[in-house]
Structure 1
Amino acid sequence: MKERPKWLVYVMLVFATSMWGSGFIAGKIAVEDFGPFTVAFLRFFFAAVLLFPLMWKMEPKRPVVTRRDWLFFALLGLTGIFIYNVCFFLASMYAPVVKSSLFIATNPVLILLLSILFLKERVTRFQIAGMILALSGAATIISEGNMGAIITGGLEAIDIILLLAVVTWALYSVLGKVVLKKFSPVVSTTYAVMFGTIFLLPFSLYEASPLSWLEASPSSWLAILHMSVFVTVISFVMYYDGIQQIGASKAALFINVMPVSAVVMAVIFLNESFGMIHLAGALLVFSGVTLGTKVIGPQVKPVPFFRKKAG
Structure 2
Amino acid sequence: MLACATSSWGSAFIAGNIATQDLDPGTVAFFRFFFATLLLVPLMLWLDKGGRRPKGKEWLMMGFLGLTGIALYNIAFFIATRDAPVVKSSLFIASNPILILLMSALFLNEKIKGRQVIGLILALSGASIIITEGQFSTLISDGFHQVDLVLLIAVICWALYSVVGKVALQTFSSLTCTTYAVGTGTIMLLPFAIVETSYTELQNTSLLSWGAIIHMSIIVSVISFVMYYQGIKMIGAAKASIFINLMPLSAVILAVVILDEAFTFVHFLGAFLVLTGVTIGSRSGSIGNKTTKTPVMADGR
TM-score by length of 1: 0.89
Query: Contact conserved, 2:53 with 2:172, CA < 8 A, in 1?
Result: no
**93-102 or 134-143: which moved more?**
93-102
Structure 1 residues 242, 131: CA separation in 2 closer, same or farther (over 3 Å shift)? same
Structure 1 residues 283, 17: CA separation in 2 closer, same or farther (over 3 Å shift)? same
Q: SS of the residue aligned with 2:57? A: helix
Any residues of structure 2 matched to 1:260-275 within 5 Å, and which?
Answer: 260-275=249-264
Residue 225 (structure 1) aligns with: 214
- Give the Cα–Cα distance (whole angstroms) in 2 for the partners of residues 119 and 275 of structure 1: 40
Equivalent position to 2:108, from 111, 114, 119? 119
Measure how far apart 1:274 and its partner are: 3.4
Residue 306 (structure 1) aligns with: none
Measure how far apart 1:215 and its partner are: 1.4
Query: Contact conserved, 2:88 with 2:139, CA < 8 A, in 1?
Result: no
Measure how far apart 1:141 and its partner are: 1.0
Residue 245 (structure 2) aligns with: 256
Residue 41 (structure 2) aligns with: 52
Measure how far apart 1:160 and its partner are: 1.5
Unaligned runs of 5+ in 1: 1-11, 303-311
- Give the Cα–Cα distance (whole angstroms) in 2 for the partners of residues 296 and 68 of structure 1: 38
Residue 193 (structure 1) aligns with: 182
Query: Contact conserved, 2:116 with 2:281, CA < 8 A, in 1?
Result: yes
Which string of whole-angstrom CA distances, capped at 9 and with x for unpartnered residues, describes residues 109-164 of structure 1? 00000000000001221111000100000111112213344356432111211111
Residue 285 (structure 1) aligns with: 274
**Residue identity matched to 1:284:** L
- Give the Cα–Cα distance (whole angstroms) in 2 for the partners of residues 171 and 84 of structure 1: 10
Measure how far apart 1:211 and its partner are: 4.2
Equivalent position to 1:63, from 52, 61, 69? 52
Any residues of structure 2 matched to 1:168-247 within 5 Å, and which?
Answer: 168-247=157-236
Q: SS of the residue aligned with 1:114? A: helix
Q: SS of the residue aligned with 1:14? A: helix
**105-114 or 266-275: which moved more?**
266-275
Measure how far apart 1:100 and its partner are: 1.9
**Residue identity matched to 1:24:** F
Query: Contact conserved, 1:91 with 1:100, CA < 8 A, in 2?
Result: yes
**63-72 or 171-180: which moved more?**
63-72
Any residues of structure 2 matched to 1:26-45 within 5 Å, and which?
Answer: 26-45=15-34
Any residues of structure 2 matched to 1:92-171 within 5 Å, and which?
Answer: 92-150=81-139, 153-171=142-160
Residue 21 (structure 1) aligns with: 10
**Residue identity matched to 2:27:** T
**Residue identity matched to 1:197:** T
**43-52 or 211-220: which moved more?**
211-220
Residue 265 (structure 2) aligns with: 276
Which string of whole-angstrom CA distances, capped at 9 and with x for unpartnered residues, describes residues 231-278 of structure 1? 000000000000000000000000000000012212333454432111
Query: Contact conserved, 1:130 with 1:289, CA < 8 A, in 2?
Result: yes
Which string of whole-angstrom CA distances, capped at 9 and with x for unpartnered residues, describes residues 197-223 of structure 1? 001001111001234212111111110
**Residue identity matched to 2:30:** F
**126-135 or 88-97: which moved more?**
88-97
Unaligned runs of 5+ in 2: 292-301
Which string of whole-angstrom CA distances, capped at 9 and with x for unpartnered residues, describes residues 67-92 of structure 1? 22100110111101011100111111
**Residue identity matched to 1:255:** I
**Residue identity matched to 2:155:** V
Structure 1 residues 261, 64: CA separation in 2 closer, same or farther (over 3 Å shift)? closer
Query: Contact conserved, 1:98 with 1:263, CA < 8 A, in 2?
Result: no
How well do the aligned residues superpose, as a CA RMSD in angstroms? Answer: 1.9
**Residue identity matched to 2:125:** S
- Give the Cα–Cα distance (whole angstroms) in 2 for the partners of residues 62 and 85 of structure 1: 28
List, as ranges, runs of 4+ consecutive aligned residues in structure 1 with deviation greater than 6 Å.
none
Which string of whole-angstrom CA distances, capped at 9 and with x for unpartnered residues, describes residues 158-216 of structure 1? 12111111111001100101101000111000000011100100111100123421211
